[in-house]
Amino acid sequence: MSKTSHLFEHILTHYRGIFATVILLPISTIYSAYTTLRNLIVFSLKSDPAKHEQKVHKILEQIEAWKKDGSLEKLCTARSGWKAMSELVPKYKLTHRKIDIALYDIIEIVEENKTVRVEPLATMGQISRNLLSKGWTLPVVPELDSLTVGGLIMGFGIESSSHKYGLFQSICVSLDLVTANGQLVHCSPMENADLFYQIPWSHGTLGFLVAAELKIIPAKKFIKLHYQPVYSLEHMVETFENASRNTKENDFVEGLVYTRDNAVIMTGIFTDDISSDGHFNPIGRWYKPWFYKHAETYLKNKQPGVEYIPLRDYYHRHTRSYFWTMEEIIPFGNNPLFRCLLGWALPPSIELLKYTETETTRRLREKYHVVQDMLMPIHYLKQSIQYFDDHFNLYPLWLSPMAILDNDKHQGFVHPFQKKDGSADEMYVDIGAYGTPLKKNFDNVSTLPLLEKFVIDHQGYQALYARTMLTREDFTKMFDHSNYDQLREQLPLCKQAFDDVYDKVSSKGRVSPVEMRKLSSKNAPKNKQNIVK
Burial of 24 (0-12, 13-18, 19+ CB in 10 A): buried
Is the CB of residue 344 less than 8 Å from the CB of residue 23? Answer: no
CB 88 within 8 A of CB 512: yes
Closest CA to 143 of 319, 401, 350: 319
pLDDT digits (tens, 9 = 90+) for 461-513: 999 988 899 999 999 999 988 889 999 999 999 999 999 999 999 887 787 77
Over 50: is that where the pLDDT of 390 sits?
yes
Question: In one letter, which amino acid is 404?
Answer: I
Question: pLDDT value at position 115?
Answer: 97
Residue 511 neighbours by CB distance under 10 Å: 19
Burial of 273 (0-12, 13-18, 19+ CB in 10 A): exposed
What one-character DSSP code corresponds to residue 121? T
pLDDT in tens, 267-324: 999 999 999 999 999 999 999 999 999 999 999 999 999 999 999 999 999 999 999 9
- More confident site: 355 or 116: 116
Name the architecture of domain 361-481. Answer: 2-Layer Sandwich (3.30)
Cα atoms found within 13 Å of the Cα of residue 305, Cβ hemisphere only: 17
- Same topology between domain 49-218+506-532 and domain 361-481: no
Q: Delimit the domains of the chain by residue range.
A: 49-218+506-532, 222-359, 361-481
Position 253 pLDDT exceeds 80: yes
For 21-70, the DSSP string reads: IIIIHHHHHHHHHHHHHHHHHHHHTT--HHHHHHHHHHHHHHHHHHHHTT
Q: Is 184 exposed, middle or buried, given 0-12, 13-18 or 19+ CB atoms closer than 10 A?
A: middle
Determine the Cα–Cα distance for residues 406 and 6; give it in Å rounded to an integer. 55
Q: For the whole prediction, is pTM greater than 0.85?
A: yes
Phi, psi of 465 (to 5 degrees): -75, -25
Strands 263-271 and 417-418: unpaired
Q: How far apart are CA 308 and CA 225, in angstroms?
A: 6
> In angstroms, how far apart are the furthest CA atoms of the chain?
70
What confidence category does residue 532 fall into, taking pLDDT thresholds of 50, 70 and 90? very low
Average pLDDT of the residues of the chain: 89
* Domain 49-218+506-532 class, CATH top level: alpha beta
3-state SS string over 69-101?
CCCCCCEEECCCHHHCCCCCEEHHHHCCEEECC
Angle in degrees, 0-180, between the axes of helices 381-391 and 233-245, rounded to the nearest 10: 140
pLDDT tens-place string over residues 71-86: 999 999 988 877 777 7
